[in-house]
Structure 1
Amino acid sequence: MTADSVADVKREILVRHLEAWTPAALHRARRATYAHGYADAAPELAEAALRVFTEQSDLVRGRELTMVAVGQETADVARRLAAIQQGAEAAAGLTVHTVGGGTDGALAIALKAAGSARVPLLGFLDATAAGGPPAVTAVSALAAGKPAEAIIVLPAEGFAADDYRAELRAAGFPLVAAVELAVDEEPGEVLVFATASGKSLEGFKDTLWAVDEYAGVRYRDPGDPERHLIDISLNPHPGPLRRELLGHLAEVGESTVTELRTFALTETVYRAEDATRVLHALLTAGSVTRRPEQGRLGGDVVITAA
């Protein structure tokens, strides 16, 4: 795997999501918090996040935006972030805290000290260098935000999609989607997005497919039994979604179009609109049937595997 290329994809996903999240969060509330975990493992990602905030300084006037960067040893991270702040136009209302002691142990304490409960809160936890997923306490601390979102990156090996989705839902994030970042047949890092908002999940999926391609990095749906690699595109290859929709219908018997769109959004790497596109193709091919047989493919139309 090309580590630099995967890092580029992660950075662009983070930056694009922050560019959308920041104005929305500060429009919703007077205060908002961004939490960046494992900051010392990849300080360039924390720097990229802070640059988004300094470049949008006009958006935080009259509002308070707090960035909390947590890691094991954060002295170097603190110097890097301070340099960015010094080199940029002062952003009114922007505060940056760096906290040592490790993300798993210190994140919850740092967020409480920053007064992050019940305000818009976004966490980015790239745990690939940690060798395993973030501690439940760290993820649960992020769920204290209102609304709360989390982007979590897991190591290439040992990811069980269904098990980790269940853990995140228990921690307070009912909607979870995941994508594997890969360049070949070997397992890749898994990027997970967790939220309580369907609108936020839709926005993240749009971001996911809008990023640029980097040196052959492609996506893989963790739920695809054939582990098909998908080129990053605004119109992604539908093969894995086709298989997953048919597999889901084989399990449940029948589903409405709305239920299948929700399945695609929350259980696959695809968007709800991709499910509609695939359903039209499946109906044309005779792979599924619909009830009623005629009319627009509305949300209440029932789909059954042929």
Structure 2
Amino acid sequence: MSSEAIAQIKRELLVRHLEAWAPAALHRARRVIYVHGYADATADAAMRVLAEQSDLVRGRELTMLAIGDDLGEIGPRLSAIAGQSGAGAGLAVHTIPGATEKMLPVGLKAVGAQRVPLLGFLDAANAHEPPAPATVAALAAGKPAEVLLILPPGSGADSYRTGWPLFTQVELADSDEPGELLVFGATGGKSLESFKEALWAVDEFAGVRYRDPGDPDRHLIDISLTPHPGPLRRELLAYLERTGSRTVTELRTFALTETVYRAADATRVLHTLVDAGTVAREPSHGRLGGDVVISVQA
């Protein structure tokens, strides 16, 4: 797998999500915190996005907390970018040298991250060991809170669900071999929708594609604004077979939270399944609204 292509995907996804998250968070609250663990050169790109919010920062506090083993060059660069932004004291950078696993809870306490809008980015794909679930759950102290966590190939993500009512995952891959696992947790539904929009909007790099961890066929999906529906079709049908009939709203929620797809993708797939006679709907006619009940044809 091309490590550079994977790095570009992760960087663009972070930037796109930050560009949506930062202004929304600053409109919502006077204090906003972004946490960048395992800090490396990607932290520069994140800081540039935050520096672009200079007009919104005035009269508010936007804080970046960077944590990493080697911040020797990174820290001064982040401070320089913040200083050139024109945001003044409203945009602050705090750096904490040391292992993210150990220092993250300390840093959150130091910057007063309780009950303020908070986004955490933890790229642990090349860490000596993945962070403990309790470390990631500490970020849920924000209100609302989000975390973008990246784990090494072959990792499992279910242990990280604690503290995150909304949770999804996607694999970055370019072959049949396991790829890095991208995990997103949130305490609010709009956050998850925003992440999914960013996920499918990134540019494809050097053949890197997505794989839905819930797809038993491990189908590779091209990154596209209109992704291939095959894996979602299989997962929706399997879900209906396991659980019986479900409303369109419930199926949209399943797609959003339990697959790599968006709620709107589920609506498109359901239309094709109904038209093909693969599933039945009740009532049998009219708009495919949220209260329409879907079941597998006997």
Q: How many Å separate the matches in 2 of 1:89 and 1:29?
A: 20
Partner of 1:126 in structure 2? 123
Partner of 1:224 in structure 2? 215
Q: How does 1:97-116 map to 2 (within 5 A)?
A: 97-116=94-113
**Would you say the 8 A contact 2:82–2:91 is kept in 1?**
no
Q: Give the match's secondary structure for 2:126.
A: helix
Counterpart of 1:216 in structure 2: which amino acid? Answer: G
**Would you say the 8 A contact 1:289–1:304 is kept in 2?**
yes
- In the alignment of these two chains, the number of paired residues is 296
**Would you say the 8 A contact 1:131–1:155 is kept in 2?**
no
Partner of 1:269 in structure 2? 260
Task: Say yes or no: does 1:69 pair with 2:60.
Answer: no
Q: How many Å separate the matches in 2 of 1:214 and 1:275?
A: 26
Counterpart of 2:102 in structure 1: which amino acid? Answer: G
TM-score of the two chains, using structure 2 as the length reference: 0.96
Deviations 1:20-70 (A, max 9, x none): 11111111110010000011xxx1211110011112211211110110001
Task: Say yes or no: does 1:185 pair with 2:176.
Answer: yes
Counterpart of 1:116 in structure 2: which amino acid? Answer: A
Q: How does 1:21-32 map to 2 (within 5 A)?
A: 21-32=21-32
Q: How many Å separate the matches in 2 of 1:267 and 1:137?
A: 22
* Structure 1: gaps of 5 or more residues: none
2:201 to 210, 215, 238: 210
Deviations 1:164-189 (A, max 9, x none): 3xx32x2x210001111111111111
How far off its partner does 1:85 sit? 3.5
How far off its partner does 1:132 sit? 4.2
Q: Give the match's secondary structure for 1:70.
A: strand
1:53 to 50, 53, 56: 50
Q: How many Å separate the matches in 1 of 2:284 and 2:86?
A: 61
Q: How does 1:1-306 map to 2 (within 5 A)?
A: 1-39=1-39, 43-86=40-83, 88-92=84-88, 93-159=90-156, 161=157, 163-164=158-159, 167-168=160-161, 170=162, 172-306=163-297
Counterpart of 1:35 in structure 2: which amino acid? Answer: V
Deviations 1:220-257 (A, max 9, x none): 11111111111111100000000000110110011111
**Would you say the 8 A contact 2:155–2:181 is kept in 1?**
no
How far off its partner does 1:131 sit? 4.8
How far off its partner does 1:71 sit? 1.2
Q: How many Å separate the matches in 1 of 2:199 and 2:93?
A: 27
Q: Give the match's secondary structure for 1:130.
A: coil
Q: Structure 1: which 4+ aligned runs deviate by more than 4 Å?
A: none
Q: How many Å separate the matches in 2 of 1:250 and 1:48?
A: 45
**Would you say the 8 A contact 2:122–2:149 is kept in 1?**
yes
Matched-pair identity in %: 64
Counterpart of 1:130 in structure 2: which amino acid? Answer: A
Q: Give the match's secondary structure for 2:257.
A: helix
